[in-house]
Amino acid sequence: PKNCEELYNLCHAQARNVIEHIFGVVKECWAILVHPSHFNMQVQLQIPSGLGAVHNFILAHDPND
């Protein structure tokens, strides 16, 4: 990068790629993220962190699953 703006754009693009990849991986495992949810907003707000916790638990206890 030649200047601060190019550096910012590079970092932003790299972060976006990582986040999009993570969403792709998680959506393969959790169908609830693929289709519209019929849960109320309070429940929907808790779904991503809950799925993340379950995903990390699975990786810690059975990484081959």
- C-alpha dihedral sign at 31, 29, 62, 57: negative
pLDDT band at 30 (very low <50, low <70, confident <90, very high): confident
Separation CA 14–CA 60 (nearest Å) = 26
Indicate the pTM of the whole model.
0.58
pLDDT band at 28 (very low <50, low <70, confident <90, very high): confident
List of residues 6+ apart from 12 with CB closer than 8 A: none
Between 64 and 24, where is the model more confident?
A: 24
Domain range enclosing 30: 4-61
pLDDT exceeds 80 at position 41: yes
- How many structural domains comprise the chain? 1
Separation CA 44–CA 47 (nearest Å) = 5
